[in-house]
Amino acid sequence: MNVPEIELSLIKYWKENKIFEKSVQNRKGGGKFTFLEGPPYANGKPHYGHISSRVIKDVFLRYKTMKGFLVERSGGFDTHGLPVEVEMEKKLGFKSKKQIVDYGIERFNNECKASTSKPISDFKQITERIGFWIDMEKSYITMEDYYIESVWWSLKELWKQGLLSEGDKVVPWCPRCETSQSNTEVALGYKEIVDKSVYVKFKCKDRDFSFLVWTTTPWTLYANVALAVGKELDYVVKEVKGEKLVILSDLHEKFEGKILQKLKGKELEGLNYEQLFTEVKCDERCFKVITADFVSTTEGTGIVHLAPAFGEDDFNACDKKFPLLKPVNENGTFTKDVPSLEGMDVRKAGDKIIKNLEEKGALVKIENYTHDYPHCWRCETPLIYYARNSWFIQVTKIKEKILENNEKINWFPNYIKNGRFGGFLNELRDWNLSRERFWGIPLPIWECECGNKECIGSKKELKEKALNEVPSDLHRPYIDEVKLKCKCGKEMKRVPYIIDVWYDSGAAPFAKWHYPFENQDKFKENFPVDFIEEGLDQTRGWFYTLLAINTALFGETPYKNVLVTGMVLDENGKKLSKSKGNFIDPNILIDKYGVEALRWTLISQVETWEVKKFGETAVKQNYNKYVLTFLNCFEYFKTYCLNAVEVESKNPLDKWIISRMNHTIDKVEGYLESFDAFRASKKLEDFIINDLSNWYIRLSRERFESKDGDWNEAASTLKKVLKKAGLTAACLSPFIAEHIYYGIEKQSVHLQDFPEKGEVDKELEDSMDEARKIIEAGRKIRNLNKIKTRQPLERVIITKKIKEFEEIIKQELNVKRLEFNDDFEEFTQEPFAYEEFEPEQYVVLDLTITPELKAEGIVNELSRRIQQRRKEEKLTVNQKVKKIIVEGLKEWSSIEPFLENLKEKVRAESIENGKANAKEEDFEGGKIKIEIVK
C-alpha cells in the first residue's frame, strides 16, 4: 500500500472536482464561522512550526464546515520588516546599514519585494500537500498598496485620538540593524549569556568615602551623570581593604571589613562625586547623588549608576535635570568622545574598559554574571538600550480597555488569559512604532521646520495635499519624494521612518479587506473573528498587536476564541536546526510515510499547547500504528465485505461496535467543540486500533471469511462503522477519511455533515468491558504458567455470572467450556490457576493438557507457521495452493484428525508428511520444514 500515492491522487481529485470550493459553497445560507490566518513571514521555507499550526487550524475549520457553518477562509503573508531585510542582507553579503544606503534604497527594496515570491510559492505548495484547505489565491499580502492604505487610515485614527505621539525615550536598539525595537520584539529574543559585571568606586567630593557601584554594562560608565540611592533605605560606611565604601546595609556582607557609620539614603542625596572618565565632557549639573524608588535591595550594592542615554529607568530618574551623555554611535561603537575606545563595539570592549578602571584605581571587584539578555529577534545581535527620538502608540492610555477586552476572549488553554498574556498586558508600555529601516510600511507623517506635523490617512488625502505627483508604489524611496505644503507656507517632508512590522499583521482584521475604503460589509461580517490559532510566542506578538490595535480603533476584541500551540522540537527536546543535523525536510518524511502520519504526530502526541517532541521515529510509529491500521481495516472490508447489504444486526458483538462508534462520535464532537484536537484524536485512535481493528474485526474473522450464517449482518455492520469512522475522522485525517468514505459511497466525505452519534448501549458496553477484564486475567494466567494462547485448554471457570459474550471469552482464552461457580476455594489447588479480574471475583483456568488438546495446540501452531510461509511467498488471502509438505513433525499421527479443517484454513488442496524443499525451523522442541507447492 503506497500511502503517499493515495494522498496525491486525492489531492488531484479534490482539485479537479473543486471539492474545497464546494464544501464552502454548500454551506451558504447557514451560520458563519469566521477565521483569520496569522500571516507567516515570506522570508524562508515553511518549517514544522508552520505545518503544526496549519494542521491544527485545518482540523477545526473542517469540523465547523461539517457542522453546517459557512467557513470562508483565505491565507495571508507578512512581507515587510527585518525578517525580509536581514535575509536580503545575507544574500547581498551586507554587514551594515550603510551598505544598504550605498547600494540604494530603491534597489534594495525591489530585491526585498522580489524575494517574497519564492517563500509564498513554497507555502502554497506545502499547504496543498498537507491538506490544509484555505484559499491561498485570495491571500492578503501586507506589501500591497491596498493594505498599506488601510494601515495609514488606522494610524490617522490613532492620531486623531491623541494616541500617536513623538518623544525622546530610551528604546531597545539593535546596533547591527541600527533600528529600535518594540517590547513585543524584545520579548521574542532573550538568550542566557554570561557578562563580566564590575564593582566600581566613585570618590565623594564632599565626604571622606567612596560610593560602591555594581554594573553589568561597564561600557555605560562613560555616560554616567548621577548615582541613585533609596531615600529611606539604610546604608553603611564600611572600611574594606583600607577604603571607606558606602554600601546598602542589607548587602554589606558581600565585602569583609569594619562598619564605621550608618546613615539613611536621604542623607546621601545631593552629595557630589568625582567623574570616573574625564575624557567625556559634561557640565556642572553632573555627578550628584539623587534618590530613586527602583534601587534593588537584593543584588548589587544599593547604589545605581545612572546613564540616562542607555537606560529607561535612568532616563526617567534624571528627567532632563542632567545632560544626556551619548558617546556611542547608532552602530554600537564608541564615538570620538571616548578617544581611547573610539570605533570599538561597546559590548566587546569589556576587557579594555576593565583595564582602564584598574589604571584609575576605581575597580574593586569583577564577577561573572549569568542572566537572560535581549537579542535582536532577527539577526540575534545583543541589543543595547539607546535614547532616541521615536514615534509611539500610547497604549498605556487604553490599558484598562485592553484588559477588559481580554476578559471577553476564550483562551485555550484558559490559564494563558491571566497568566502569560495577562501578565504581559499588566506590564504594558507604550508601543515604540517607528523604525529606522527601509522595507516596510512608511509612517505617514509629514513635518515642517516650523514644528507643524500632519498624519495622512489615505491615498486620496495625500493626492489632495501633495505638491508633486504621488507614486503608485507607496514604499520608500518613492514616498519620500512627496512633499506637502505647510500652513506656514514652507514644504513638509515625510519623517524618515517605516513602522514596526508587527503593526502590519495586527491590522489584518480590517486591512485585508481594504477597510474602510472597500468591503465594509465584509469587514463587519468578519469582526470580531470566531477563531484564531498560532504558537505560544504570539502571546507577546500577534495576539497582542491584534488586541491593542483593534481595541484602540473599534473598542472591541478582534477575536473570540484563540487556540495556542506549542513549539515543535526534536525528539530530545532540542530546537530543530539544519546546522545541528536534527532537522529533516518535511517533504522527505511526507514522501516516505505520507502526510497523514505527520499530521497525526503533530495532533495526537501531546496537548495542543504543549511542546511537541518531533522526529522520524514518532512519524513512523504513527504511520504503522494509526495510519496503516485504519487503512487495513478498509482493505479487509474490500476483501470480504464490499457487497454487503445494509441491515440491522441482532448480534451482540455487532451491536457493541455500533455503540462504541456512537460513543466515540459523541466524545470526539465534544472535544472538537472545545478546540481540543489532542483528546479528539486520541479517542478516535483508541476506537480504530483497540475497538475496531484489534477487537471487533479480529473476533469476527470467521463470520467475515466464511460467507455463511450471519455474514451479511457482520459485513453490513463493518460497512456502517467504516462510513461513520470516515465521517468522524474527516477533519482529523482528511486523506484517510476520503479514501475510505469515497471507496464505499463514491462521494467526498468532505461534502457531508459530521455524523449523528446515534444510540449508545451502556449496559452492553459495560458487559464487554467486563468480558475484556476476564480475558485479560485469563491471558495473565497463561503467561505466568508459560502456556501459549494457541494451546487449547478444557475449561475456564468464572466466579461471577455474566450477561453477554461467553463465546468471545471462550474464543479469546481458547477453552472448550465456560462454567460459572462462586465456590472459589474449590479451585485454588493444581491443576487450577486463578487471577482476580475485579474485587473478589476470579477467573480460573484448568491447566490440564490432554493428548488431544496437545495435538490441537500443535495444529494451531502449524497453521500459524503455514500462514507465515504464505505471506513470504506473497500469496493472496484467497489463493489456493496444490499442496503443503511438512517434514520432521514428530507428532504427525496425532494431528491427522485435524488435517481436513487445517486444509480449509490454509487454502490447500492437501497437506502431506514428506520430504520438503524448504529451510529448517525450530518447532515445539524439534525441527521441521514447510514447503508450499503452488
Q: Which of 219, 411, 439, 502 is catalytic?
A: 502
C-alpha span between 559 and 549 (Å, rounded): 12
Which amino acid makes up residue 680?
A: A
Helix or strand holding residue 268 (H, E)? helix 265-268
C-alpha span between 612 and 203 (Å, rounded): 55
C-alpha span between 474 and 161 (Å, rounded): 24
**Other C-beta atoms lying within 10 Å of the C-beta of residue 364:** 20
Which amino acid makes up residue 628?
A: L
- Residue written as cell 521646520? 449
**With contact defined as beta carbons under 8 Å apart, do 847 and 797 qualify?**
no
Three-class SS of residue 807?
helix
- Residue written as cell 480590517? 510
Q: Which of 40, 46, 57, 78 is catalytic?
A: 78
- Residue written as cell 524618515? 496
Three-class SS of residue 49?
helix
C-alpha span between 653 and 717 (Å, rounded): 10
Angstrom CA distances, 755 to 211, 666, 668, 725, 728, stand at: 76, 9, 11, 9, 7
C-alpha span between 844 and 866 (Å, rounded): 32
Q: Which of 538, 676, 695, 734 is catalytic?
A: 538
Q: Which of 95, 98, 575, 803 is catalytic?
A: 575
Q: Which of 14, 391, 542, 711 is catalytic?
A: 542
Q: Which of 14, 39, 430, 558 is catalytic?
A: 39
C-alpha span between 159 and 456 (Å, rounded): 10
Q: Kindly give the pairing relationship between strand 793-798 and strand 612-613.
A: unpaired
**Cell of residue 99, nine digits:** 551598505
Q: Which of 764, 762, 761, 839 is nearest to 800 (CA)?
A: 839
Contacts of 43 (CB under 8 A, 6+ apart): 83, 84, 87, 115, 116, 119
Please confirm, yes or no, whether 538 is among the known catalytic residues: yes
**Cell of residue 17, nine digits:** 472536482
Exposed / middle / buried, residue 339 (Cβ in 10 Å: 0-12, 13-18, 19+)? exposed
Please confirm, yes or no, whether 97 is among the known catalytic residues: no
Please confirm, yes or no, whether 575 is among the known catalytic residues: yes
Q: For the chain, what's the residue count?
A: 934
C-alpha span between 267 and 235 (Å, rounded): 10
- Helices vs. strands in the chain: H and E counts, helices first: 35, 34
C-alpha span between 205 and 57 (Å, rounded): 67
Please confirm, yes or no, whether 502 is among the known catalytic residues: yes
Angstrom CA distances, 26 to 14, 19, 70, 522, stand at: 15, 10, 8, 19
For residue 477, is the peptide bond before it cis, meaning its omega torsion is within 30 degrees of 0? Answer: yes
**With contact defined as beta carbons under 8 Å apart, do 122 and 45 qualify?**
yes
Three-class SS of residue 362?
coil
Q: Which of 877, 929, 880 is nearest to 903 (CA)?
A: 880
Active site residues: 39, 78, 502, 538, 542, 575, 578
